[in-house]
Chains A and B, each alone.
Chain A
Amino acid sequence: MFQVPSLSDLNVAAALPAVVLALGACVFLVVDLFVPRERKHITAWLTAGGLSVSLVLALLSLTDVVTFGDGEEAFFGMYIADQFTDMVNVIVLVTSLLGVMVAYNYLDRTNMQRGEYYYLLLFTTAGVMFMGAAGDLVVVFVALELLSIPLYILTGFRRPQEQSEESAMKYFLLGAFSSAFLVYGLALVYGATGTSNLREIWQAVDSMVAGDTSAQFLLLTGAGLSLVGLGFKVAAVPFHMWTPDVYQGAPTSVVAYMSVAAKVGGFAALLRVLVAGMPNFMLDNGTSAAWMDVTWLLAAATMIVGNFIAIVQSDLKRLLAYSSIAHAGYILIGVAAAGVPRVADEATQAVLIYLMAYAFTNVGAFSVIIAVERDDASNTGLSSMRGLARTQPLLAAAMAVFMLSLTGIPLTAGFVGKWFVFKAAIAADLIPVAVIGVLTSVLSAYYYLRIVWMMYFEDGDGEAATPRALAWAIGISAIGTLVFGFLPYLLSDMAREITLAFGG
């Protein structure tokens, strides 16, 4: 007989950080109706407050100060509240907080100050959090849509500017297409294993090794299609075509946020599905998962294409779009390395460390672009950086830190991320892809350093405006980038206990 589950059966408390945020978003949606248009800073503050509460909860849970709920599973295995979830939450919440800070003044001066911006941002964030916590394929899909749909709207937020609308349309069409891939893939996985629960999939895959070839084929196709769908979200080559256009057309504050948040969500789900769900999906060699080879090929292609095309870009937003493609490649190395069971934990941790480092660095870099961008969305060319070191020394110094971090120079967070990802790759014997990784890093140094040289070596009257919230966001990002660079153990300790393996 059907029984109505009680709240304690659901173990809602385990999902507290995500639930607080999602409920908060719903409440703010109503509250915002009563906030007059010229006083939207109230909504901004509320949003920041909601994010902070959630962030504090996530941090408490990550550091094991408080354990929410009873056990790691909530909603009957649909939601997994483990350390992985906590760290994903922390990363995306930090990103959204910075995202709100960089947005406020920008929205004001570009005449986009509307309450929708803030709660759409909250919904996206909730989507990422649910993706990271997904214990079931259905949750993966629903969370992906919760992540994506608000982003489509945010991308077109600069209505009636054509570029913004065009990028929203492009993003939406391609995004819908990729969702279809994902859902088809998930359906095939369901078909192969007879369940949509990741733990049960894990068990089913384990016993499948015996040699049911038709199920293996279904699973392979399913995993492949899921990879396509999620590869689109994280902007991996060859599913990256939307990225430069969308990044260039969308409001910069949205890009600052989505360039990180969408990646965090995509990679979290990818890890959940592949590493937690089918680590034992080995075809005939028995040492690495079946999805490893294709993942590292994707990683290699992504790094090569992203970095090569970035070299010739002359628009900062486009350049950083290709750079973000390239970084998807580096992170994919970590995902690929997780295909070797003995390295799985190390590689998962590496991916999270990389994402944390990337969050601070990339939001920071886009924030600097926001500072130099004019109200009519112009002045985002590479030349806008010229002479910035003289007119805005602190801003230029921060940008230099971000660029060095994206290059992966030591004493910045970016290096720590690369160190751990490459270490995992070497441990997994993925030496060729690691070599491609370091060589493309040299390429990337060229275009990142070019920004530095524009700022420091060339004369010009680089103009920029840094209102207080934006300045704080840039400052926090720069300090975060440096602190994690100088004290890498902060990152490694955070990630140390993380494992995706079921069966414990």
Chain B
Amino acid sequence: MANLKEIRGRIKGVKSTQKVTKAMKMVSAAKLKKAQDRMLALRPYAAKMKEIIENVTSVVNVSDIPSKLVEQRETKNVLMVVVTSNRGLCGPFNSNLFKFITQFIDKNLAEHHKNGSLHFVCSGKKGYEYFAKRKYNVIGKAADFDILSNLTFERAEEILGHVFEGFEEGKYDQVYLCYNEFKNVMAQERKVDLLLPVTVDKGGEEVSGPKADYIFEPGREQILTDLIPKSLKTQFFRAVLESNAAEQGARMVAMDAATENAEALVKQLKLSYNKARQAAITKEILEIAAGADALEG
């Protein structure tokens, strides 16, 4: 039987851990609300952007767009842009994404990985640590592409600027964006999306022309050249916001589970504590009784 003092110490320890996890859960809940609001704030912009692009592309040939970002090339070098969290204690949030990415690489990009033409840009410290440790080709330092500590559209632009540059210079021929999409508080969906080259979605056959007889100023091609990077930035920014919200959701769930586990552990410890106490008392009484017997005898 473990001794009383030891158990008492453990109970105390578990209880204080529980306090921390409970607090973290509440903090995440508050942050989640904020993160969701930001996601909602982006939605009108993103939706309108998509609509305008569809309007313009419905009358343009992709090959006419004088933007390098739509160029389809032989896939020699691939860049993965990985959006993760900066902090841990959010359950399987990051590790699930890593697993998903590794599977994706094994399936589609195994050769690139072997001959070293697979590059990584990690936005989020956890992703950086994971891939750098496993000797993947990670570009820059963790702080170079960090966006979570300064979650603004401007910062998203900055980061994607590097990516565009690399693509236009031919350093990468394909860029993937990997992130956790926010489904609901409990669930995230892991995503690997092709970011570059841009595939222009004509929106199906039924859209035969623009909704109205628009005047395009400047020409359609120029508008697209201008809008495509903007739309990609929006896409990236959305991914980051989604990931951010999903992270908070995941942390909330993980911390809730941790709090519950602590509760169960305390209960169990209390039981064994009481048992030990009972045993000690019984033992003492037996000793006293035995002593008294000896005196009388």
Q: Do A and B bind each other?
A: no
- Interface residues, chain B, CB within 8 Å of chain A? none
- Interface residues, chain A, CB within 8 Å of chain B? none
